[in-house]
């Protein structure tokens, strides 16, 4: 197996054993209850339309995997679940299929989920090595609706043979946005994002930003563990690296009304997701909790989990008097110190 597929396999194993946090940064946000909601619970509408797809709720399955036979089975199941529950998804990094086109099948989920909102995925730094046509082919070959480019400088620094030359990545993003005919979303993979980076991205014309905060997994630690102890001690010095989802959202929410804002990182409940929407996100995504539930309990349990998250979102909307997802943006909150 080649190095990229190998990495994805190791990361999957380590990510499954990585502990879930017990307290999320959004738990410190308290939404102001509306005791006179003036709406009928049954009519609370969690649906949202994004890039010509209507989702039953503003939820995505975050980019996770691809490039191995095991990943193919995971991607197909995630896509089936997204289809059944009416949410969107992204495949994991498609770098493996650029290196070995025979791996395309591990990402081709359209056959099981013809109508879902679907994103392609690759590292922004990786795009420097490929032509615009090759990057666009990642989207067209799996009939996706757009592409997510991930920003992972600190993961690359700790990764064996990581790509650490980030010079020119912002220019490459700008160039891709102007030359490919699909929406481009740029994302953090777990260290959050602040307003300076977000503004620089908005200036490139990016269609969306996903700000995965550090409430989820720490890729520095994962790569430290993968280095057979060689870099683990250094990695552990970076245990607290990054901004939480709450800190990122509070910094980034005002950036641009035209840019889609996605919140990711450690979200496991519809209440946390609703709080992310109150803080300005239009969508939230679930990564590791979806993967963990699927692998340890199976497809039916994952469907149940997503339906539970959707119901928690609907109940929260009722509790704050929001009959639509858009109205959540007007809800007041306080921050516990
Ligand atoms: C096993 C695993 C593999 C991942 N692979 C990718 C990837 O290929 N591309 C990407 O943009 N993000 C990737 N991520 C990051 C997730 O999309 C997400 O941003 C992160 O895990 C935080 O969200 P969570 O706490 O809900 O998992 C991966 C995460 C996990 C757990």
Question: How sure is the predictor about 20, in pLDDT bands with cuts at 50, 70 and 90?
Answer: confident
205-235: pLDDT as tens digits? 999 999 999 998 888 998 898 887 788 899 9
Residue 231 located in a structural domain: yes
Residue 53 domain flag: yes
> What is the Å distance from ligand 1's center to 189 Cα?
6
The gap between the terminal CA atoms of the chain, to the nearest Å, is 49
Residue 32 falls within a domain, yes or no? no
The model's pLDDT over 275-325, given as tens digits with 9 standing for 90+, comes to 999 999 999 999 999 999 999 999 999 999 999 999 999 999 999 999 999
Asked if residue 306 is part of any domain, the answer here is yes
> What's 217's domain CATH number?
3.20.20.70
State both tokens at 188: 């953090």
The total domain count for the chain is 1
pLDDT at 93 over 90: yes
**Residue 331 domain boundaries:** 3-16+38-335
Judged against a pLDDT cut of 80, whether residue 62 lies above it is answered with: yes
High-pLDDT (> 70) share of the chain, %: 99
| Residue 119 confidence (pLDDT) above 80 | yes
Residue 27 in any domain: the answer is no
Q: Contact 87/55 with Cβ under 8 angstroms?
A: yes
Report yes or no on 29 lying in a domain: no
Q: Is residue 72 part of a domain?
A: yes
| Three-state secondary structure readout of 90-149 | ECCCCHHHHHCHHHHHHCCHHHCCCCCCEEEEEECHHHHHCCHHHHHHHHHCCCCCEEEE
Please tell me the predicted confidence (pLDDT) of residue 155: 93
What mean pLDDT is reported for the chain?
95
The tens digit of pLDDT for each residue in 143-154 reads 999 999 999 999
Which residue ranges have their beta carbon within 6 Å of ligand 1?
11-12, 15, 62-65, 92-93, 121, 148, 150, 187, 189-190, 212, 216-217, 264-267, 286-289, 291
pLDDT of residue 227: 84
Round to whole Å and give the CA distance between 188 and 64: 13
Model pLDDT, residue 16: 87
Tell whether 24 is covered by a domain: no
> Is the C-alpha dihedral spanning 136, 155, 106, 113 positive or negative?
negative
When pLDDT is cut at 50, 70 and 90, the band that residue 22 belongs to is: confident
């Amino acid at each position: 197996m080649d190095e990229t597929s190998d990495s994805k396999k190791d990361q999957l194993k380590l990510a499954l054993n990585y502990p879930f946090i017990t307290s999320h940064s959004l738990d410190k946000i308290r939404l102001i209850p509306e005791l006179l909601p003036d709406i009928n619970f049954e009519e609370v509408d969690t649906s949202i339309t994004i890039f010509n797809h209507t989702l039953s709720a503003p939820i995505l399955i975050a980019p996770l995997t691809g490039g191995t036979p095991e990943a193919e089975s995971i991607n197909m199941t995630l896509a089936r679940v997204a289809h059944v529950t009416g949410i969107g998804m992204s495949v994991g990094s498609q770098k493996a299929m650029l290196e070995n086109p025979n791996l395309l099948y591990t990402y081709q989920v359209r056959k099981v989920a013809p109508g879902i909102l679907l994103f392609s995925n690759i590292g922004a730094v990786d795009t420097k090595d490929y032509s615009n046509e090759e990057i666009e082919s990642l989207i067209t070959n799996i009939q996706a609706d757009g592409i997510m480019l991930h920003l992972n400088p600190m993961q690359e620094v700790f990764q064996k043979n990581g790509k650490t030359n980030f010079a020119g990545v912002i220019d490459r993003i700008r160039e891709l946005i102007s030359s490919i005919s699909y929406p481009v979303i740029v994302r953090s993979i777990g260290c959050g994002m602040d307003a300076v980076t977000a503004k620089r991205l908005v200036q490139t014309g990016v269609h969306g930003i996903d700000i995965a905060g550090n409430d989820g997994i720490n890729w520095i630690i994962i790569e430290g563990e993968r280095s057979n102890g060689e870099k683990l001690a250094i990695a552990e010095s970076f245990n607290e690296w990054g901004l939480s989802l709450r800190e990122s959202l509070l910094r980034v929410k005002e950036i641009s009304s035209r840019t889609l804002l996605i919140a990711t990182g450690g979200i496991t409940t519809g209440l946390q997701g609703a709080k992310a929407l109150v803080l300005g996100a239009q969508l939230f995504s679930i990564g590791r909790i979806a993967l963990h539930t699927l692998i340890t309990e199976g497809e039916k349990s994952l469907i149940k989990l997503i339906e539970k998250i959707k119901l928690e979102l609907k109940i929260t909307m009722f509790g704050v008097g929001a009959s639509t997802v858009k109205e959540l943006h007007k809800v007041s909150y306080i921050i516990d110190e």
